[in-house]
Structure 1
């Protein structure tokens, strides 16, 4: 999947379900697998151009 499509689908889901509010601090659990890393990458990309400011924290347990 190309990056622009990933960002587009991420934004669509965030907007449709109202997942991010101004000032949110989002924790993303990182296992090292492709699903959690893709989520982190998608949110980091979205953060650059999303109209609401939010922070991302990557969380690992080990």
Structure 2
């Protein structure tokens, strides 16, 4: 597992795409980590937890 240029913005956008695909309730940090082929812990440098990720996705949708 190498570096994939993770940023909060990139994770939020990918989370929004995941929500479009699977539904908002199915968005998890674990699923996002799978999509980026990284360990879940790698995402916690950019989002606090699953709720933080979902909040960011919701705010993105409101923009």
TM-score (norm 2): 0.45
Richer in strand (by share): 1
Larger Rg: 1
Richer in helix (by share): 2
